[in-house]
């Protein structure tokens, strides 16, 4: 695992954006696995800035997102589809037809999971998967205890995740109770993984994920078994590392 230590959130965002940017330059028609949440916002901002300066071209890029809430239409401003358009897709020259997320409104959830997994395969797999990490070590919506070999599936959200995400909704009651997520098996198939972690409150979980046993209790710990992971963390998240 390559570890880049960033001074702060902005520096982390710029370093991670550089890695994504290099991927796009080296392979203009790459498949990017993308994430939502607060951590990647600065990365997307930086990518948009470079696109506007003429340094980046998304015209051939394909994207597949990690996850989406079940039951929220794309028009809902808390859907991940909306988030991606707001922070990246509407601001760069990516072809909207090349941007994929699970369909939160699909009637048959099992069918939707299969469709999404097949779609990723038909695109030739993910070249670079961007990942944030939850306070409990979750990646995507794969919560502690989730088996390591799962493919795209529909999960029931844990109370802690509902609590953490309620800041984006009017109340905790409005947070959807289910979500679609790439499984850990899906994530591990990506050719490269870029993990970004910021903030002191995630430092202890990050230490366990990197240095502790590989266990489903810390989903991100599985990344120790992937042969091409880059972590970009800020000082606060990496404070425990000498
Ligand atoms: C988002 C996702 C989640 C987040 C994680 C961290 O697509 O899959 O696993 O990466 O919850 O969220 P933030 O960045 O908001 O702390």
Does the beta carbon of 219 lie inside 6 Å of ligand 1?
no
- Kindly give the pairing relationship between strand 62-65 and strand 31-34: parallel
pTM of the model: 0.96
Q: What is the pLDDT along the chain (242 residues), one digit of tens a residue?
A: 999 999 999 999 999 999 999 999 999 999 999 999 999 999 999 999 999 999 999 999 999 999 999 999 999 999 999 999 999 999 999 999 999 999 999 999 999 999 999 999 999 999 999 999 999 999 999 999 999 999 999 999 888 778 888 888 888 898 999 999 999 999 999 999 999 999 999 999 999 999 999 999 999 999 999 999 999 999 999 999 97
From the CA of 65, give the closest atom in ligand 1.
7
Does the beta carbon of 176 lie inside 6 Å of ligand 1?
no
Q: Which of 12, 16, 33, 37 to mutate to test the pocket of ligand 1 (most atoms within 8 A of CB)?
A: 37
Does the beta carbon of 37 lie inside 6 Å of ligand 1?
yes
Residue 135 known to be catalytic: no
């Amino acid at each position: 695992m390559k570890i880049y230590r960033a001074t702060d959130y902005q520096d982390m965002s710029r370093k991670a954006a550089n890695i994504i940017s290099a991927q796009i330059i080296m392979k203009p028609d790459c498949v990017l696995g993308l994430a939502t949440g607060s951590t990647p916002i600065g990365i997307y901002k930086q990518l948009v800035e470079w696109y506007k300066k003429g340094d980046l071209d998304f015209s051939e890029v394909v994207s597949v997102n990690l996850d989406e809430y079940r039951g929220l239409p794309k028009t809902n401003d808390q859907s991940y589809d909306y988030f991606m358009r707001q922070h990246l897709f509407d601001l760069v020259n990516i072809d909207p037809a090349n941007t994929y997320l699970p369909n939160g409104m699909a009637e048959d959830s099992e069918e939707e999971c299969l469709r999404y997994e097949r779609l990723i395969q038909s695109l030739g797999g993910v070249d670079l998967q961007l990942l944030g990490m939850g306070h409990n070590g979750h990646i995507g919506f794969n919560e502690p205890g989730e088996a390591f070999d799962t493919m795209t599936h529909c999960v029931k959200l844990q109370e802690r995740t509902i609590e953490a995400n309620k800041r984006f909704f009017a109340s905790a009651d409005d947070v959807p109770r289910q979500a679609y997520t790439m499984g850990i098996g899906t994530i591990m198939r990506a050719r490269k993984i870029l993990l970004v972690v910021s903030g002191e409150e995630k430092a202890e979980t990050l230490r366990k994920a990197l240095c502790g046993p590989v266990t489903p209790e810390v989903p991100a710990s599985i990344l120790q078994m992937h042969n091409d992971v880059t972590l970009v963390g800020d000082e606060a998240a990496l404070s425990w590392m000498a």
